[in-house]
Structure 1
Amino acid sequence: MKKQQDIETPFFLAIIPLIVMIGMMTFTIIKFEGSPHIPLAVGSIVAAIIAWRLDYKWETIEEGAYKGIRLALPAVLIVIIVGMIISSWIGGGVIATMVYYGLQIITPSLFLMTICIICGIVSLAIGSSWSTMGTIGVAGMGIGTSMGIPPAMVAGAIISGSYFGDKMSPLSDTTNLAAGITGTNLFEHIKHMCYTTIPGLVIALVVYFYLGRQFGSSELDAQNIQGILTALQSNFVISPWLLLVPVALVALVVMKVPAVPALVIGVFLGFLCQIFVQGGNVGGAVNTLHDGFVMASGNEMVDELFTRGGIASMMFTVSLVIFAMVFGGILEHTGMLKAIVKQILRVARSARSLIVATIASAFFTNVTASEQYISILLPGRMYAQAYQDKGLHSKNLSRALEDGGTLTSPFIPWNTCGVFILATLAVHPFAYAPYAVLNYAVPIIGMLMAAVGFKIQFLTANEMKDMKAKQARMDKEALE
């Protein structure tokens, strides 16, 4: 039997699990309207069989699956905590208060623009798109749909704003990861991303302004809005003091409290609000954390908006993340993703085509490995030497990884980001995809800029020398 590190996976074999998974996924979702779990499981089995036939030991294949799961554990933990935040903030009247005042002060025609900007500011401050969508985003969905705006449009605006802030924040884990894996100064990386991300945000805001006009020109159903406000007042204690809960959460993260402890404090504050502000009992508040909040106001729209959250509601998401990461882990650990990316490198011969290939590869990795962190890590490792060989500054690579990896992850229904958004905002990725304008505008802008050679930064002779020394140190540390 060959040594594991000596096994070369042929491209035509590496692509088979992907073809099987995507083909079965398409058939399952479109024909049967089923869940993605089984296609991912079948894809994992096919990948394992091919790896075994290539002389990979079962222990190696199994380790790849477990490695994928371990990589997703932080995301799984956050998903579960966000489920508790949603239920505790609804039970504590926090979401109701945000929706109540939002309906009174936000103009329907400007809502899409407004919620995009608000989510962008919050995400920029705290560095987390997930935390922003799980808190401000949930309230935004309630406000927007109450105004008669389609949920897919509202979700798209929330996602665009949240990912803008996440991508540009020095507190963001993906931003730091992209800079770190490529050896780029963090603030140089952020500055270089402005060339693609700022135009993408401007395009998104223009689109949201245009889309919002149809809601401003039509007559708002004032009776329907008043019915929602009445239902909220009848079932919750509405108080501006409750707005201190989300403010406290944002303040904690700005003070660099890690995401998990900050979110747990947010859950605890919502829990206390349900007992001491809304007059609930401890047993009911505990059950809400697990089972979610159940609303029975008699107003169908309000009941639908506020019956959600809890640990139980996130189990579909958790199981899907595990299935997806098993598939991605096997592909990466057995060299299949590497074989696919190497094939792409044969086509990308110029500096311009290399950047385009990096963006495309990051998106491709999101599809195959189902995790945005892998979409940054894998192409980042694979393309680092190619960028050096072509005299390209590492910030070109770090920006391309974020443009193609971070921003495209919400479009994949089985990616951890896609399943989180579905669980949190209750809108399918295929529905909100046309309206998440920033997320597809930025990769397109990045590829167009690369194609015409605009803002491609080359290394000076001294920078080339320093870059090689830095990469050598990083490789040595990785081996250790």
Structure 2
Amino acid sequence: MGEKKELAKKEVPLFWALLPLLIMVATMIVTIIYLEQGPHIPLIIGTSIAALVAWKQGFKWSEIEEMMYKGIRLALPAVVIIILVGIIIGSWIGGGVVGTMIYYGLQIITPSMFLVTITLICIVVSLAIGSSWSTMGTIGVAGMGIGLSMGIPAPIIAGAVISGAYFGDKMSPLSDTTNLASGLTGTDLFVHIKHMLYTTIPGILIALAVYGIIGMNYKDGSIDTASIQQTINALEESFVISPWLLLIPVVVIALVVMKVPAIPALVIGALLGTLSQVFIQGDTLATAIASLQSGFVIDTGNEMVDNLFNRGGLDSMMYTVSMTLVAMTFGGILEYSGMLQSIMNQILKAAKSTGSLVASTILACFTTNATCSEQYISIVVPARMFASTYRKKGLNSKNLSRALEDGGTLTSVFIPWNTCGVFILGTLGVGAFEYAPYAVLNFVVPIISIIYAFTGFTIQKLTEAEIAELNKKDAELLAETAN
């Protein structure tokens, strides 16, 4: 069969472009807040309305189906990672890896410094491996266990983990979003990273200060030390605890640092966890396979320990996978029918000054995160839309690449139906509306970025030499096209 032709985008009136989004958001609010149900059905309703609007605008049903499939295809790499993270959580719990990390964490980290410490650990790990998801799915899971054992509420712990993980994801040269933002805008990778320091360093310092203040409420004297000791005792009785087990996460981190792709690195991590469950913990191979499929099961009589460790496995991620697929069908129709383009065009009209241009870029990234439910699209679409405008205003491309990450990478966690929000719910067990006030880095950095834009601080203009070089490249490209 021949290759399918690219879907042609059409101009969609703003009212019709907004209608599916408004209906989806309204049904989402009613379903989640008032009915206390999941977001799948509101997303399906939004997809149905979007399909009807696309049909009304002249698209054939075969084209609408192709839009949905293209949206799903964009999410397939994320789906594979989600499944592998579920498997690795099951294997690391069954293998005693998570138990060992929690055991030593409870003995080493003081409650008052826990939030600061877990943020710093997540920063180091995510800088090394370039992945917020892998950091949250491994170190973050252990951190949740340690913090909960200390009596710290789950949303606060999750916020600290997310801030640390996304700092590294944003600043690491190994990060896919960092390379994507720099590549799409034609900005040198390390120039892009250096320019992001101006917004991200103040953001993480503010986050650490907030976590330090919050941590003072959980000083040694204000928590139930007997409960912590009971948790430690239950861990000793239920698992073989050994510092050697800490080598398993170290191996996974080392593999990614050595540029081994995330998928094989996670598979190796899951294999090592399974071997540990069989040969160190003494479980049968059948039990170890069950941990990979349906999650680890334990009954210690300690409710907190049971809640911490009865989890993981491939099955546990099916809720997350199904939500991702449904969300991407919605985003696919909005993107490829031209509805998203119509919404973005209205945002672009407000971009008169440099400040409003950067603010519009960040708003566009957030809007894309909410409508297309995928972090990568929130970088790709605004990059295509705003590149020429930044250049016409004489602004260096690194201003755009920074705005894309400040508005796209970081705000993805605040959308419950975005793949990032869905992943966090599946791994850390906390919803976006719960952890949002505590993911300090993620909402402070976009604010800092907008303030800089309106004041002109760190906003870099194109030099005459850079303008001449860009004009030369345009002329060469035009000549190649003509030939």
Q: Do these two structures clear the TM 0.5 threshold for a shared fold by scoring above it? A: yes
Q: Report the CA distance shift for 1:282/1:347 in structure 2 as closer, same or farther (over 3 A).
A: same
- The equivalent position to 1:47 in structure 2, one of 46, 50, 61, is 50
Alignment match, 2:447: 444
Secondary structure at the aligned position of 1:171 is classed as coil
Counterpart pick for 1:139 among 134, 138, 142 = 142
Q: Match for residue 103 of structure 1?
A: 106
The match for 2:410 among 407, 411, 418 is 407
Q: Matched residue of 1:59: which SS?
A: helix
Alignment of 1:116 onto 2:114:
no
For these two proteins, the number of residue pairs brought into alignment is 476
The residue that corresponds to 1:310 in the other structure is 313
Q: For residues 269 and 281 of structure 1, what CA distance do their matches in structure 2 show?
A: 15
Is 1:425 equivalent to 2:421 in the alignment?
no
Q: 1:300 matched to which residue of 2? A: 303
Q: What is the aligned partner in structure 2 of residue 341 from structure 1?
A: 344
Correspondence for 2:163: 160
Aligned identity (percent) is 62
The answer for the alignment partner of 1:393 in structure 2 is 396
Contact 1:37–1:320 (8 Å) recurs in 2: yes
Shift of 1:255: 0.4
Q: What letter is aligned with 1:113?
A: V
Name the CA distance, whole Å, in 2 between partners of 1:476 and 1:320. 47
- Quick check: 2:111–2:220 contact (8 Å CA) kept in 1? no
CA deviation profile, 1:166-218 (whole Å, cap 9, x unmatched): 00000000000001111110000000000000000000000000000011163
1:272 to 250, 272, 275: 275
Whether the aligned pair in 2 keeps the contact of 1:392 and 1:457 (CA below 8 Å) is: yes
The residue type equivalent to 2:311 in the other structure is R
- Paired position in structure 2 for 1:225: 228
Amino acid at match of 1:392: L
> Aligned in 2, Cα 1:284/1:379: closer, same or farther, shift over 3 Å?
same
| Segments ≥4 residues shifted beyond 4 Å | 468-478
Tell me the equivalent position of 1:33.
36
Structure 2, unpaired ranges of 5+: 1-5
The C-alpha deviation readout for 1:292-334, integer Å capped at 9, x for no partner, is 0012011000000001000000000000000100000100000
Deviation at 1:428, TM superposition (A): 1.1
| 1:312-331 equivalence runs, <5 A | 312-331=315-334
SS of the residue corresponding to residue 297 of structure 1 reads coil
| Residue in structure 1 matched with residue 3 of structure 2 by the alignment | none
CA contact (8 A) 1:362 1:404 kept: yes
Give the match's secondary structure for 2:222: coil
Query: For the Cα contact (< 8 Å) 2:369–2:375, is it kept in 1?
Result: yes
Q: Deviations over 1:315-373 (max 9, x none)?
A: 00000000100000100000011111111111111222111100111011111111100
Please give the residue correspondences for 1:191-210 in structure 2 after superposition, counting only pairs within 5 Å: 191-210=194-213
Q: 1:477 to 1:67 in 2, by over 3 A?
A: farther
Secondary structure class of the residue paired with 2:219: helix
Q: Which residue of 2 aligns with 1:369?
A: 372
**Distance in 2 between residues matched to 1:295 and 1:473, nearest whole Å:** 66
Task: Tell whether the 8 Å contact from 1:184 to 1:398 is kept in structure 2 after alignment.
Answer: yes
Aligned to 1:462: 465
- Measured against aligned partners, the alpha-carbon deviations of 1:390-445 in whole angstroms (never above 9, x if no partner) come to 11111111100000000011111100000100010001111111110000000110
Q: 1:4 touches 1:56 (CA, 8 Å); kept in 2?
A: no
Distance in 1, matches of 2:469 and 2:302, equals 65
Displacement of 1:223 in angstroms is 1.3
Residues 9 and 336, structure 2, Cα contact 8 Å, conserved in 1: no
Counterpart in the other structure of 1:11: 14
> RMSD between aligned alpha carbons?
1.7
Q: Specify the code of the residue in structure 2 equivalent to 1:194.
A: L
Normalised to the residue count of structure 1, the TM-score between the two structures is 0.97
Contact 1:183 1:470 in 2 (8 A): no
Q: 1:467, CA displacement in angstroms?
A: 3.2
Post-superposition offset of 1:6: 7.0
**Which moved further from structure 2: 221-230 or 105-114?**
221-230
1:151 aligns with 2:154: yes
User: Take 1:391 and 1:10, find their aligned partners in 2: how far apart are those partners?
Assistant: 31
State how far apart, in whole Å, the 2-side matches of 1:477 and 1:392 are: 26
Does 1:180 find its partner at 2:218?
no
Kindly indicate whether the alpha-carbon contact (under 8 Å) linking 1:28 and 1:36 is maintained by their aligned counterparts in 2: yes
Q: Read off the aligned partner of 2:164 and give its amino acid letter.
A: G
Alignment counterpart, residue 249 of structure 1, candidates 249, 252, 259: 252
Q: Please identify, of 458-467 and 187-196, the stretch whose mean Cα deviation from structure 2 is larger.
A: 458-467
| Structure 1, 204-213 or 443-452: larger mean CA deviation | 443-452
The gaps in structure 1 that reach 5 residues or longer are: none
